Amino acid sequence: MSHSDHHIERNSLAAKVEKEVEVKAQKCYQCGKCSAGCPVAEDMDFPPSMVLRMLQTEIPANDEKILKSHSIWLCVTCEMCLTRCPMEIDIPSMMDYLRQKSRSESKENPKAKNIIAFHKSFLSSIKHTGRLYELGLILDYKRQSLNMTQDMSLGPKMLSRGKLHIFPEKIKDMAHMARIFKKTSK
């Protein structure tokens, strides 16, 4: 059977990835270049090429493993895999989709707790000021991740170098920012 007439299960994760981000997992021929160049592959439970292989199987148990994986959260969107993939498979866009899918189905890997907490704190900072308020971000992240002691020495050093604002700098049209957040919240 050739790739072009491969029948895709309509409900598989691969089909959703294809529909939502136009990434065809079936095109992957497992050369492994993506995993070889991925800076975080060795920290992942499944390196990028394996995520592709699991998608190709269209087996629900594998789809589940992907959405519950640590890998999708460790991906830092460095874009190395896409650059080197001979089939130009847009793995970074696919990872964005998988993260959002994992979250909407409440399947986030517990090991990714801090990474997700950081992203959430970041967005909440922008939501409230329009710009990133780094001190607020750090404090909110500490609260969410319960990592109270981490980076204690960094704050004062940043302050003395003029790298940290004590107060947030708000944009003028905060109402506009609020509407953008509202309209894009699902």
Partner 1 sequence: MKIGIYPGCSLEGSARDYNQSVFALAKAFDIEPVQIPDWNCCGATAAHNLNKELSLALPARILALAEKHGLDEIVVPCAACYSRLMVTQHELKIHPELKNRICEVIEMDYKGTSKVINVIEWIDKYIIPKLEEKVKKPFNYKVACYYGCLLVRPNKVLNYDRVEDPQTMDVVMNKIGATSLDFAFKTECCGAGLSISRTDIVSKLSGKIIEDAEHRGADAIIVACPMCHSNLDMRRADINKYWKTEFKIPVIFVTQAIGLAIGLTPEEVGFKRHFVEVKIS
* Residues making contact with partner 1 (CB under 8 A): 39-40, 43, 74, 76-80, 82-83, 88, 92, 96-97, 99-100, 103, 114-115, 117-120, 122-123, 126, 130-132, 134, 138, 141, 145, 150-151, 154, 157-158, 161-165, 169, 171-173, 176-177, 179-181, 183-186
Minimum Å gap between C-beta 119 and ligand SF4 is 15
Q: Dig out the tokens for 59 from the structure.
A: 């087996």
Residues 65-124 that bind ligand SF4 (CB under 6 A): 75-81, 85-87, 89, 91-92, 95
Residue among 38 and 177 whose Cβ is closer to ligand SF4: 38
Binds ligand SF4 by CB under 6 A, chosen from 12, 18, 48, 130: 48
Per CB under 6 A, which region of 46-54, 60-68, 102-110, 133-141 contacts ligand SF4? 46-54
Minimum Å gap between C-beta 160 and ligand SF4 is 34
Report how far residue 46's alpha carbon sits from residue 70's, in angstroms, rounded to the nearest whole number.
8
User: For 65-91, what is the HEC assignment?
Assistant: HHHCCCHHHHCCCCCHHHHHCCCCCCH
13 is in the binding site of which of partner 1, ligand SF4, none (Cβ under 5 to 8 A by kind)?
A: none
Residue among 9 and 43 whose Cβ is closer to partner 1: 43
The residue ranges that bind ligand SF4 (CB under 6 A) are 28-34, 37-40, 48-49, 52, 75-81, 85-87, 89, 91-92, 95
